[in-house]
Amino acid sequence: MEKNDTNRILTNRQGHPISDNQNIRTIGNRGPSTLENYHFIEKISHFDRERIPERVVHARGAGAHGYFEAYGKVGQESISKYTRAKLFQEAGKRTPVFVRFSTVVGGTHSSETDRDPRGFAVKFYTEDGNWDLVGNNLKIFFIRDPLKFPDMVHAFKVDPVTNLPNPERMFDFVSNSPEATHMITFVFSPWGIPANYRQMQGSGVNTYKWVNQEGEAVLVKYHWEPLKQGIKNLTQKEASAIQAKTISHATQDLYEAIERGDYPEWELCVQIMSDDEHPELDFDPLDPTKLWDHERFPFLPVGKMVLDQNPENYFAEVEQAAFGTGVLVDGLDFSDDKLLQGRTFSYSDTQRYRVGTNYLQLPINAPKTRVATNQRDGQMAYMVDRAPDQNPHVTYEPSSLGGLTEAKPAGKEHQPAYSAKLVREKISRPNDFKQAGETYLQFEDWEREELISNLVDALKICQPVIQEKMIGYFTEAHSEYGRRVAEGLKQAQVDSTHLGSDAARDGAEKAEHSGKSTD
């Protein structure tokens, strides 16, 4: 570079032009350095702080920008009958989005071929502020009570002593959590390794509500269906072959597809149920371990999403992005799904720690609408969230001196009524196995083969008490399912005994040749 190209002159963060970025200041060219090396000390101490804590789950991710385009109806009906959320009302209305895909268990640089659910988190920058739909690729989850989440994650992540992954710890937890049987059935099938982030579905998993102008609610589940790129999953062998060459194939696939203009698209579909307990069903509609069957609760398209722009900076956009299930706009609401309620506390709590108190001021997280709060200060306060004609002295509400005022309600508030004892209890229709059996039967033959072989591979290193409990759960789901896992484990035992005796024989032969005893 020419030294006098003023547009590209290096400065420090104080705006001082830097004329020597190669040498620190020393006493003589071989002498000790001095402490007033401001440029060096600023540069190195910023570098020392370059990393923020990785996400406690979903640490490894890739992201992209795009837009959501509403169809203006739900299936064939007017959408305003069910929700007054503005982003859905008008056909063709576009809302900018940012999406982050992820794996769950591994750290920031873990392999993207891992068997794991995939995160599918979408931030809609709507005219009413942000809406985050924080979903996964699979439509259900391992547990239904948020109290179990930290234990589940501890069991799935590496062993705290060896720092190694260990399926025995995972299955120890799962074999004592029968509600996980359905999710395990998906995760150990090819659906546990989507081919990449473009060719997978997404789902909000939890049950939410839609609220109309009258304050009336329905229960909804959200699903993303890939459009032109389709769905593709991998066998364990295919995934291992990819992993032998790269641990970043999914990030690369997404980035390169968008660079070459092959923009991935998904249709957003909803399933709707009336807002009640549905005693006619053999499961609770608030139970995230269950699918809502397609026949009774059809997938109704409400719009499509296109991802057409890569991030300009991975850290600023993808790493610092903060999604949360509490981030809803008017017309969308929470249900009483317990897992959802626990999640809603957890996300912004972790983000205040992971990114910082003012994480919502960062461009990737800030809404693209006006923000006017009385929240002030805190580490890294980047701006004052003040309305243009707000009296800057009035950082409280209510006030008669030109402070912020409350908005008018956009419609009638949804006010569910409650009358029950405060308890600690499991839901009354856990039905932990039936849908796992149905899912097993719905798989194609090769998917069932993979499921059994992947389960046997993981379970064969587990203690018998864990194996027996898991076989019991799979048998409750479907007798053939349990039988095949049991047979697979028996065969694995025989193989390892043979291997063991082969190894012992080899050892004995070697010992004979070398004249040493194997004792």
The catalytic residues are 58, 136
Binder to ligand HEM among 141, 191, 197, 433 (CB under 6 A)? 141
Question: How many residues make up the chain in this entry?
Answer: 519
Residue 82's nearest CA partner among 429, 411, 470 is: 411
Residues 6+ apart with CB under 8 A from 495: none
Query: Of the listed pieces 26-34, 54-62, 84-92, 429-437, which binds ligand HEM according to CB under 6 A?
Result: 54-62
Binding to ligand HEM by residue 342, rule CB under 6 A? yes
To ligand HEM, the closest distance from the beta carbon of 126 in angstroms equals 19
Residues 6+ apart with CB under 8 A from 184: 142, 174, 436, 455
Report how far apart the first and last C-alpha atoms of the chain are (Å, whole number): 71
Q: How far is CA 199 from the centre of its chain?
A: 16
Nearest residue to ligand HEM, scored by beta-carbon proximity:
119
Site track for ligand HEM across 297-336, x = CB under 6 A: ------------------------xxx-------------
Binder to ligand HEM among 106, 135, 437, 488 (CB under 6 A)? 135
Binder to ligand HEM among 346, 390, 454, 467 (CB under 6 A)? 346
Binder to ligand HEM among 85, 234, 339, 477 (CB under 6 A)? 339
Residues 6+ apart with CB under 8 A from 477: 181, 182, 185, 433, 434, 436, 437, 440
How many residues form the binding site for ligand HEM (CB under 6 A)?
28
To ligand HEM, the closest distance from the beta carbon of 207 in angstroms equals 11
Decide the pairing of beta strands 61-70 and 94-103: antiparallel
Binder to ligand HEM among 198, 221, 223, 343 (CB under 6 A)? 343
Site residues for ligand HEM, window 60-99 (CB under 6 A)? 61
Cα(208)–Cα(210) distance, rounded to whole angstroms? 7
Site track for ligand HEM across 1-40, x = CB under 6 A: ----------------------------------------
Site residues for ligand HEM, window 348-387 (CB under 6 A)? 350-351, 354
To ligand HEM, the closest distance from the beta carbon of 312 in angstroms equals 18
Binder to ligand HEM among 83, 136, 185, 189 (CB under 6 A)? 136
In this structure, what token pair is assigned to residue 6?
Answer: 């003023």
Residues 6+ apart with CB under 8 A from 431: 282, 283, 290
To ligand HEM, the closest distance from the beta carbon of 424 in angstroms equals 16
Cα(111)–Cα(104) distance, rounded to whole angstroms? 11
To ligand HEM, the closest distance from the beta carbon of 517 in angstroms equals 55
Cα(281)–Cα(479) distance, rounded to whole angstroms? 23
Binder to ligand HEM among 146, 215, 411, 430 (CB under 6 A)? 146
In this structure, what token pair is assigned to residue 132?
Answer: 């985050």
Whether the CB-CB separation of 340 and 207 falls below 8 Å is answered with: yes
Task: Give the largest Cα separation in the chain, rounded.
Answer: 98
Site residues for ligand HEM, window 192-221 (CB under 6 A)? 205
Site residues for ligand HEM, window 96-115 (CB under 6 A)? 100, 102
Binding to ligand HEM by residue 250, rule CB under 6 A? no
Q: Is 347 a known ligand-binding residue?
A: yes
Site track for ligand HEM across 275-294, x = CB under 6 A: -------------x------
Whether the CB-CB separation of 282 and 57 falls below 8 Å is answered with: no
In this structure, what token pair is assigned to residue 465?
Answer: 């008490």
Residues 6+ apart with CB under 8 A from 255: 62, 310
Cα(168)–Cα(188) distance, rounded to whole angstroms? 14
Supply angle C-alpha 410, 129, 87, rounded to 5. 70
Cα distances from 43 to residues 15, 51, 131, in angstroms, run 13, 14, 37
Binder to ligand HEM among 79, 87, 122, 134 (CB under 6 A)? 134
Q: Which residues are annotated as a binding site for heme?
A: 347
Can you give the binding site for ligand HEM, defined by CB under 6 A? Answer: 55-58, 61, 100, 102, 119, 121, 134-136, 141, 146, 149, 205, 288, 321-323, 339, 342-343, 346-347, 350-351, 354
